[in-house]
Chain A
Amino acid sequence: MTGDAARRDEDGYYWIRDPRLWKLLQFCFCMGNRVSLFVTCIVDQLFPKVGMDMADVLERLGYEIDFPESQTCCGQPAFNTGYRDEARTVARHFLDTFESSECIVAPSGSCTSMVTHHYAELFEKEPETLARVHSLEKRLWEFSTFLTEVAGVEDVGARLDDVVTFHDSCHGLRELGIKDAPRRLLARVRGLELREMQPAEECCGFGGTFAVKFAELSGAMARTKIDAILRTGANTVVALDLSCLMQIQGVLSRAGSPVRTMHLAEVLASR
């Protein structure tokens, strides 16, 4: 959570301290050209096009895609709401689903970090499951990070004539350290102008069940975000996480604004 790549390793946690070694290990697991999709429950049920676009981009880069059908959810909603037993149940299913996937890509920072940064906490008292978790941590990638660090590309041949601004989703930013990768990718999209919002790096207010448990507060946070967005004059807000985009678009729409939202995958799939 502290944004730096060195992780805690007290109490038997097994973490690689050197961020470069970490990345190397992750890379080794994904050296082949086969990737599995973890689309996330929100993409599956509400924003399927994002999943299709992500697959599209990966295929164009020469990857063979598979979609393990038994996938459902990473368990984050339960974990964030305090239901750890239920989260563990769902997490075990996730581990089973992706047991034999060498390389998994997900269109979400928060779902990725749920697995890579919180599964270990959930299973700290179960050494066998914990070992499987540590293996999985090395094999799961957030989409933009996968493109820049594993596929090693920034130009995916996309074209989108638009003025956009980019929203840094909190989990991706602070737990996964994602800041540059999406910007480097967006910089290579033909016809695209990126404007940064001020202030930057502020939470959109979604926060999972927070959005409904503290709806008015969540809405107030979103409206502050919208102000920053509107000040950029951009037509489109791009982000890595659909939970944020759902919150932002929901408020924009309620305010009658023509500004639209797009997931990074949708932008990169545009031609």
Chain B
Amino acid sequence: MSVEFEEKIHNTLADSNLQLAIYTATGRLKDKRTETVASDELPEYQELRTQANALKKHTIENLDYYLEEFERNVEAHGGKVVYAKDGTEVADFVLKLAKERGARLIVKSKSMTTEEVDLNERLEHNGLESVETDLGEYIIQLAHERPYHIVAPALHMTRYQVADLFTKRLNVPRETVIEKQTAIARSVLRQKFLAADIGISGANFLVAGSGAVVLVENEGNIRLTTSAPKIHIAVAGIEKMIPRAQDLAVFLKLLGRSGTGQLLTVYTSFLSSARRSGEVDGPDEFYVVLLDNGRTRLLPDRGKRQSLYCIRCGACLNTCPVYRKIGGHSFPWVYSGPIGAIITPQFMGISHEPKLPFASSLCGACSEVCPVKIDIPKVLLELRSDVKKAEVRDHRNRLEKLAFRAFAWLMTHPRLYEMAGRLAAAAAPGSSGWIRGVPAPMNIGPLRAWLSQRDLPPAPTRSFREMWRRR
């Protein structure tokens, strides 16, 4: 696992075109966010963050209550709530319904939750056609890839790669003009929307007090997915819950600005049922699938529970100096960036990728931009501690544990610490300038790693405490 992780990181760092693409794309989104949350633009920004955090905390801490309230309200408006413990149950539900209705074609809008459970794969495996309709998701579906970024799934691809993809998979003449590529996708997908039997969406928010799902987008594919087919199924993690519709006055002001620097995304849909009596269009059936898939495993931990507050805006990805170098595909699971780094180990277990919590300099930029104030570095530090405890328990990485035990021992014995310092200084190559390299026997481990990237400071002739004694 870890070798693959480090290899992916290395390959991404070595690809200079990709480096530029990731850096500029995230830079643009980061700057747009900064503009729209500036104190002259949104003076109540910090207050909104505090409110959003408090709302999420309250909801998560009383989640059972709100799940039941949500269910009651959905059913009161004629819809149905289905609980799914994992991806298999989600797929089983969809397949059963599809079979009962004779459905063959499904259109889908972007949903990280469905990516999480590989829903498309399961449906296709069972003979259904499930088409992603968000342009970026459609592109990566054709390419059989995973999304690169929560908000910009095809961030890593150039127009030329898209051109090749379309020619190969859609059998169209090669087209490299982006507007025309978009028109091709629009035309193909329009046919799908109008012919589809079922529309599957995710949900940005579940509103308990209304029994409604709230969805935000810029393209219009979510509206079409949820309005054109006769059946709408929304799949959402149980943590997407918020208490009341009016709470959207807080969350919607934060979501667009944080993610893309928009005051609001182009379309914000508040959907609570199949079409009501008298409404001319809309689906005949409305289902909400509430997914667990490990979320209940996360809930007991009071320190890490805040990981579930996430509203999937992507701000942390855009600001993270690590993500901006290693990109989305270096991460071992569907969620990338700082939020991915904290939920992946919690959903998949820390042994899934034990190095993941360590792939951070703990700079804290993520938590500074998080609209719901998740203290991501704090959770990373707890995960690191969990990893080390597991290693001790499994007798792995003993050398490092030993080294830190020695460190602790040394640091609690000042005279020995001082002596060790003098020894190390004496052993260091004599140098007045910074050190480029060290002789072979010493060039191992952390020293070697350090020197692979930068020079080493020369050892001073005297330590501070020696100088202090002499003054």
Do the two chains belong together in a single complex?
Answer: yes
Pairs across A and B, CB under 8 Å, 30 listed: A1-B367, A1-B376, A3-B368, A45-B421, A45-B425, A45-B460, A52-B464, A55-B468, A69-B465, A72-B410, A77-B407, A80-B384, A81-B358, A81-B384, A83-B388, A89-B408, A121-B378, A170-B365, A202-B365, A203-B361, A205-B361, A207-B361, A208-B361, A210-B360, A212-B445, A213-B449, A217-B322, A220-B13, A253-B434, A254-B453
Sample of 9 further A-B pairs with CB below 8 A, known A80-B381, A80-B384, A83-B388: A2-B368, A46-B457, A47-B460, A70-B414, A174-B363, A214-B6, A217-B322, A219-B452, A253-B434
Tell me if B295 counts as interface (CB < 8 A to partner A): no
Q: How far is the CB of B136 from chain A (nearest CB, A)?
A: 26
Which one of B358, B412, B457, B467 contacts A52 once the chains associate, using CB atoms below 8 Å?
B467
Which residues does chain A contribute within 8 Å of B352, judged by CB atoms? Answer: none
Is A46 touching B459 in the complex (CB atoms < 8 A)? yes
The interface stretch among A128-136, A153-161, A232-240, A244-252 is A244-252
* Contact partners of A214 in chain B: CB under 8 A: 6, 9, 358-359
Chain A residues, CB < 8 A from B465: 44, 67, 69
In chain A, positions 57-102 with a C-beta closer than 8 Å to chain B are 67, 69-73, 75, 77-87, 89-90, 92-93
B302 at the interface (CB under 8 A from A): yes
Report if B385 contacts A (CB, 8 A): yes
Please report the C-alpha to C-alpha distance between residue A51 and residue B405 in the assembled complex, in whole angstroms.
Answer: 27
Give the secondary structure class of A's interface: helix
Question: Which of B367, B375, B385, B463 sits near A45, CB closer than 8 Å?
Answer: B463
The chain B residues found within 8 Å of chain A, CB to CB, are 6, 9-10, 13, 23, 27, 46, 302, 321-322, 325-326, 355, 357-365, 367-368, 373, 375-378, 381, 384-389, 400-401, 404-405, 407-412, 414, 417, 421, 424-425, 433-434, 436, 445-446, 449-450, 452-457, 459-460, 462-468, 471
A119 touches B (CB below 8 Å): no
A-B contact count (CB 8 A): 214
Contact A72 B434 (CB under 8 A): no
Q: Cβ of B400: which chain A residues have Cβ within 8 Å of it? A: 81
Contacting pair B421 A44 (CB below 8 A): yes
Q: A45 vs B428: C-alpha distance in the bound complex, in angstroms?
A: 12
Q: Of B408, B449, B468, which one neighbours A51 at CB under 8 angstroms?
A: B468
- B333 to A: closest C-beta gap in Å: 18
Q: Does A43 contact B (CB under 8 A)?
A: yes
Closest CB in chain B relative to A97 CB, distance in Å: 8
- Residue numbers of A with Cβ under 8 A of B are 1-4, 8, 11, 39, 41, 43-49, 51-52, 55, 67, 69-73, 75, 77-87, 89-90, 92-93, 121, 170-171, 174-175, 199, 201-203, 205-222, 224, 246-247, 249-251, 253-254
Contacts of A219 in B (CB 8 A): 452-454
Whole-angstrom distance between the alpha carbons of A79 and B375 in the complex? 17
On whether the beta carbons of A203 and B365 are closer than 8 Å, the reply is yes
Contact A222–B453 (Cβ < 8 Å)? yes
Q: Are A90 and B408 in contact (CB under 8 A)?
A: yes
In the assembled complex, the Cα of A83 lies from the Cα of B468 at a distance in Å of 32
> Contact at B364–A174, with CB atoms within 8 Å?
yes
Minimum CB–CB distance for B214 against chain A, Å: 26
Q: Please give, as numbers and ranges, the residues of chain A lying within 8 Å of B373 by CB-CB distance.
A: 2
Q: How far is the CA of A250 from the CA of B451 in the complex (A)?
A: 9
Flag if A250 contacts B384 (CB, 8 Å). Answer: no
B358 touches A2 (CB 8 A): no
Are B407 and A78 in contact, with the CB atoms below 8 A? yes
